Amino acid sequence: MTTLRLAHLYPDHMNVYGDRGNVIALRQRCLRRGIELEIIPVNPGDMIDWGSVDLAFFGGGQDSGQALITTDLIERQGPGLRAAIENDLVMLAICGGYQLLGHYFLTHTGERLPGLGVLDVHTIAGKQRMIGNIVIEVDVGQGPWRLVGFENHSGRTFHGAGVKPLGKVLAGYGDNGQDGWGGAIYRNTFGCYLHGALLPKNPQLTDHLIGLALRRRYGANAELAPLPAERELAAQRVMVQRLIGRV
């Protein structure tokens, strides 16, 4: 059986607004194709061989949760995780996880939480909380997709030249409510503010991540078998039409 390994970073500290559902979606769409997805929880104090990991997920959390795991992320996991990301580890990071992959997060109290620094972004807490449904238009080389999700963040994330935007905001706020971008991409790492959970609502992205991981592990010719997602895509279309008036 084809096997992939997924590292779930700090599942007890970084799991708000259904973010754990992203791991469930990856596992289920793998399982329906006969792919075994081994899930490895990564908690503070754990040691992990990042060279053996194919996928990683880093969910969102409150500022207090982020503060509890920041030191472990940078000092214990940092060297191996940075090297894996530079070696095209497939990673999805949502909200707080996205922020902590950047250079720093400046909180409401003025505390500067250092990030891992693998994404060329930084985050500053704002006075306005950005809450609501969001649609972003994404093109990762397979034609444009419209991804839907739910955002709830006061942090405003700004991009540097070392990342490219994940997508253009069609409805909602996006990374900072100013520049029209939602999320960022660096190599095979994807970060954004879309909760909800993101992947059950957007099977195109789920399959894209699985396909990247398969090719990285088994070679460029490894193919992801087609898998229907009519119900998920129908629900996605309804939300897109509701928010922007067209599909």
Q: Catalytic: 95?
A: yes
pLDDT at position 16 is 79
The predicted-structure confidence for 157-179, as pLDDT tens digits, reads as follows 999 999 999 999 999 999 999 99
Q: Decide if 140 contacts 186 (C-beta within 8 A).
A: no
Are the C-beta atoms of residues 171 and 147 closer than 8 Å to each other?
Answer: no
Check which CATH number belongs to the domain holding 18 and give it. Answer: 3.40.50.880
Alpha-carbon distances, residue 218 vs 4, 24, 29, 232, 238 (angstroms):
10, 23, 18, 28, 37
Query: What are the pLDDT digits (tens) for 27-53?
Result: 999 999 999 999 999 999 999 999 999
Instruction: Examine the pLDDT at 4 and tell me if it is beyond 90.
Output: yes
**Which residues 6+ apart lie within 8 Å of 225 measured at CB?**
33
Which tokens belong to 47? 């040691």
Number of domains in the chain: 1
Q: What does pTM read for this prediction?
A: 0.95
Of the residues 30, 95, 122, 159, only one is catalytic, namely 95
The residues with which 57 forms a beta bridge, in sequence order, are 8, 92
Catalytic residue among 8, 122, 159, 195: 195
Q: Tell me if residue 195 is catalytic.
A: yes
Q: 141 Cβ partners below 8 Å, 6+ apart?
A: none
Per-residue pLDDT reduced to its tens digit, 176-229:
999 999 999 999 999 999 998 999 999 999 999 999 999 999 998 998 999 999
Residue 64's pLDDT is 62
- Residue 27 assigned ligand-binding role: no
Domain that holds residue 200: 2-244
